Chain A
Amino acid sequence: MIFCLGLASIEILGMDLVLLLGLLFKYRYSRIEFITFSFFVGLGVISYLQFIFYLVSVRSNAQFIAIVVSMGLGLFIYLYLKSAKEIVTSIDGKPLDWIERLVILGLFIQVFWIILHILPMPVQAFDSVANFSLKAKIFYLNEGIPGNFFNLSEYSVWHLDYPLLLPFYMTWIYRFIGFNDVLITKIMPVVYIMFLGLFYALLTKFFSRKYSLIAVFFLGTIPQLTRYAAIVYADLVLGACITSAFIYFILYLRDKKSAFLVNSALLFGVSVWIKNEALVFLAVFFIILAAKIACSKERYILLRQAILACLIILLIVSPWLVFKCHKGLINSDINLKVLTAGKFLKNLRDSPILLFELQREVFNPKKWNILWIIVISVFIWKRKMFSDGILKYAVSFVFLALLFYSCALFLTTSSDLCFHVEKELTRFMIHFAGIFIFLTAYLFQKEVFSEEIND
């Protein structure tokens, strides 16, 4: 119950910002979109607050949380009473057909299965204990980030350069439940459910309810994704934010509504607080946005919207990135200072390992079912559509992100490439899974709809 209060407080803080944005940009959210989008925004808000309070040396203890949540609740009540009817629309009231019911039942079984596995499980996976949970324990016991935290050695706490959203999320929940590293693991199924909810809400802006539900089912039942929903790793959270930010961006490219770009910028900004890899997506986002402006006739309107998006991102990411540069926090795996030309060339020569590992992942139904086989087949089959409308931007986004990501991760690593690829590739694919399912559904939709017409 108290655990749920902790989650509700994150929701409320997220809803405050989402309602404000809805009012400012006259955007109407569906109920599912409102709840799920607010959750991810809320995660960003609590991380931002906890970090800012560290910077100004204020302890983030129970009183601090109580004050913040009370203010958030007051604002939420005011905004909700004032504007909920204008901003939040009710869900589609049509009764579900048997396929939709079956899909929802399947998703319920999957969620139940994940909860069944995680319910008695303490934090135990390697990176979870070595990184996120240890940091959360430190922040909880110290009532915030300790003053000397970023001066600790890599032996005491790993990866001090890692963004802190997940430890902050855990610390926030600990403030409600007390230090309980068995109960805390339940935060991950919540992320999983919110991800599926937001993915569904965004897909319904492109496709029919049934088609969207089927796509959500494909995403939700990927074995590797469900596995990451049961361990406290940041990859699922990053995958959720990146996928949703990407789809909002595609909606913006289609409709040119400021609200979509703002939502996308917000989620891309939050992603930078989750994992360093988000910077790759952010760079590609700027490139594609610039390309869109350059190719558009309404250049000045788009430029104004783009400046707004850049300011939002700057506001979100700057405290962490400036602090990181100021402190000189460096990644132990990807460190350009340690990397030599010889090492770079060796990594380049060893890059076939990447292809070998990639095919091992792609053709591994235990991890991915037949997802990548479907994705590759549809991409080859529908390749002529790549130059159509928004698809050229969407596909460019994905391929640029893949290219940058591969270069950043696999060619510049100063540690052993083989070890690095084996460890990182599956996570890398989790970050992209949602985006690829969306694109596959998009490419495939004409096929389904033309058949429905023929039927």
Chain B
Amino acid sequence: MKFKNLLVKKNIYLLVVFLWLILWVVFLIKQNKRGEYIQLKFLYTHNDAERKRFIMGQDLHDFVDYCKEQIPAGKTYKFVGIEGLDMVRARYMLWPAIMDPFDPEFVLLYKSNEVVPGGYGVLKKVNDAEVIFKKKGSQG
């Protein structure tokens, strides 16, 4: 009886280990996110600058990169039309310019129909949907 119990227990342990191994291999190989391997293939075949463009989205990356050239370090800005993960990535890229949603010196409009508040004039225009506004009368 004792031997039988032992055999059952041992089989349960083996089953648990086997199940763990199977699931490990399955989730190791199976794509975590949709298109993960396609993304990896792209990243492996391009340089660092292209990798960053790809991760952020090429349009947005190019716009933020352009804004970076226009906004001096230490100046304040806010986004219109960039939110969530895109916003935190853009903010990361733009530092040492500082994000200030209340009284910014620059407003960065990206593919949005939102109206930019008064007191700002167009500084640079990539196209009609991607515009950098600057506060009228501000220095720098």
Using a CB–CB cutoff of 8 Å, the interface residues on chain A facing chain B are 106, 109-110, 113, 116-117, 119-124, 126, 129-130, 133-134, 137-138, 141, 152-153, 155-156, 158, 180-182, 218, 221, 223, 227, 365-366, 369-370, 374, 447, 451, 454
Contacts and interface: CB of A to CB of B under 8 A. Distances in A.
A153 B100 contact: yes
Nearest to B88: A130
Interface in B70-122: 85, 88-89, 91-92, 95-96, 98-101
28 contacts: A109-B28, A116-B40, A117-B40, A120-B43, A120-B44, A120-B51, A121-B51, A121-B55, A122-B52, A124-B55, A124-B89, A129-B89, A134-B88, A134-B91, A138-B96, A155-B101, A156-B99, A182-B51, A182-B52, A218-B20, A223-B24, A365-B27, A369-B23, A369-B24, A370-B23, A451-B6, A451-B9, A454-B6
A110 B28 contact: yes
A307 B44 CA distance: 53
Contact of B100 (A156, A221, A223, A366): A156
Contact of B48 (A122, A130, A133): A122
A227 B31 CA distance: 12
Nearest to A116: B40
Contacts, number: 81
B19 interface: yes
Contact of B16 (A182, A221, A366, A370): A370
Output the residue of A109, A122, A223, A365 with the most chain B CB within 10 A.
A122
A221 B24 contact: yes
Nearest to A133: B92
A366 B32 CA distance: 8
Nearest to B90: A129
A133 B93 CA distance: 10
B85 A182 contact: no
The size bracket of the interface on B is 20 to 34
Contacts of B16: 370, 374
Nearest to A226: B28
A160 to B, nearest CB: 13
A148 to B, nearest CB: 10
Cβ-closest 3 pairs across A and B? A120-B43, A130-B88, A182-B48
A121 B32 CA distance: 15
A217 to B, nearest CB: 9
A126 B40 contact: no
Contacts of A122: 48, 51-52, 55
Contacts of B101: 155
Nearest to B84: A126
Contacts of B136: none
Contacts of B28: 109-110, 113, 221, 223
B124 interface: no
A133 B40 CA distance: 22
